Amino acid sequence: MGYLNNWQGAVVAVPMFFSASPTLAHHSEAGFDTDRVVAFVGTVVEYSWRNPHVYIDVEDPSSLNRQIIWEIETGATPIMRRSGWGPNSLMAGDVVSIRAHPERNTDRNYALLISLEKENGDILSQSSGDPKVIAAATTLEGTWKGFGPSLEPFRRAFNQIPLTEMGLEAKEAYNFYEDAPAAMCIAPSSPHIISTGLYVTEIELMEDRVVFHNEFFDAMRIVYMDGRGHSAEQERSTQGHSIGWWEDGVLVVDTTHFSDHRIGNGTGVPSGSQKHLIERYQLSEDKTRLMIRVTLTDPEYLSEPFTGTLEWRYTPEFELFRYDCDFEVSRRFRLD
């Protein structure tokens, strides 16, 4: 227990000379200073195993005249399960050593967990939960998970799409604490939701449709394969209205009728009524990955079309967990 003894009663902020956890919580690192770390030993006051974040409230005993409670944010329960956590990993009264990224530009004692060490020496952190065994698929059906090396370039390019004047104004006005749809348990739309490496998607192939079950906010997309088109009377929704067809073994998905979404086209950039998405899903040559080519247009907010490619890895050993977003928990990161 040398680590706990060394840090007993200390709260420090130090420069980061190493990479942070490979995956951050779904509110993203936008609200946190990832160049700084707070480190202290404290006592668990509450351990909340709910979504969209597992929270750990920790009392810092080093304060002399007042009680200081640090609110430590971690990932959602599916991410934490694949990182070795469970609902009984912590209990009130446990003494733990915390390392976390503090929140930016606020006076709250609120931070994003890097790692936690228990008194018995166990160290818990959040990981990407990538599969340990490489398996091959026979079709697109089954469970898949975003493949890290392809995701970051895709997301970086996606967040650098040239914007229209409306897009620039919306991005400039975006407030992480007030506008994030996640605070209202609203799932991301595509292509955001398919470019996360944290959550599992299950694809179900049926005669007249393909169904995508994503454990992120329990999002579901139905791709109609019965030859229908997009109807002008179709109701708009977060995931839009999708039709599809096969082209030489490639699943082509055409989606329109997206509802307005505050970050539907990247950080701070909304989805518009004319948003149109084409996705092409194709097995890799060794059938261990699903190659996804994306073409996105949204003339209200994007000044030119976006095209990018990302990959999912076949993960038949992974379970698709329920998300069951808790509205009150989702609002905890807001500044009210």
pLDDT attached to residue 67:
80
Q: Is residue 277 part of a domain?
A: yes
Q: How many whole angstroms separate alpha carbon 321 and alpha carbon 326?
A: 15
In a domain, 137, yes or no: no
For residues 77 and 156, state if they share a domain. Answer: no
Residues 169, 307 within the same domain: yes
Cα(336)–Cα(331) distance, rounded to whole angstroms?
9
Give how far the C-alpha of residue 97 lies from the chain's centroid of Cα atoms, to the nearest Å: 26
Same domain, 172 and 77: no
Q: Taking the chain, what is the end-to-end CA distance rounded to the nearest angstrom?
A: 39
My answer on whether 303 and 184 are in the same domain is yes
* Per-position DSSP letters for 194-249, written without gaps between them: GG-SSSEEEEEE-SSEEEEEETGGGEEEEEE-SS----TTPPPBTT-EEEEEEETT
Task: Identify any residues that bridge with 32 across adjacent strands, giving them in sequence order.
Answer: 103
- What was the pLDDT predicted at 158? 95
Query: Are 120 and 149 found together in one domain?
Result: no
In a domain, 120, yes or no: yes
Same structural domain, 306 and 209 = yes
- Coil, helix or strand for 306? strand
Count of structural domains within the chain: 2
Give yes or no for a contact between 272 and 244, defined as CB atoms under 8 angstroms apart. Answer: no
The answer to whether the beta carbons of residues 267 and 175 sit under 8 Å apart is no
Q: What is the pLDDT of residue 127?
A: 85
- Give pLDDT, residue 61: 80
Let me know whether 247 and 307 are in one domain: yes
| C-alpha dist (Å) from residue 239 to 55, 259, 289 | 28, 8, 23
Please tell me whether residues 27 and 161 are part of one structural domain. no
The residue range of the domain holding 36 is: 2-127
**Residue at 325 is within a domain:** no
Per-residue pLDDT at 159: 92
SS3 282: strand
Asked whether residue 330 is assigned to any structural domain, the reply reads no
8-state DSSP, 331: G
pLDDT at 31: 80
Q: Do both 56 and 175 map to the same domain?
A: no
Regions of the chain where pLDDT drops below 50: 1-26
Looking at 103, 127, 151, the residue that finishes a domain is 127
In a domain, 273, yes or no: yes
The model's pTM is: 0.88
One domain for residues 115 and 56: yes
How confident is the model at residue 36, as a pLDDT? 95
Regarding whether 157 and 92 lie in a shared domain, the answer is: no
323 within a domain of the structure (yes/no): no
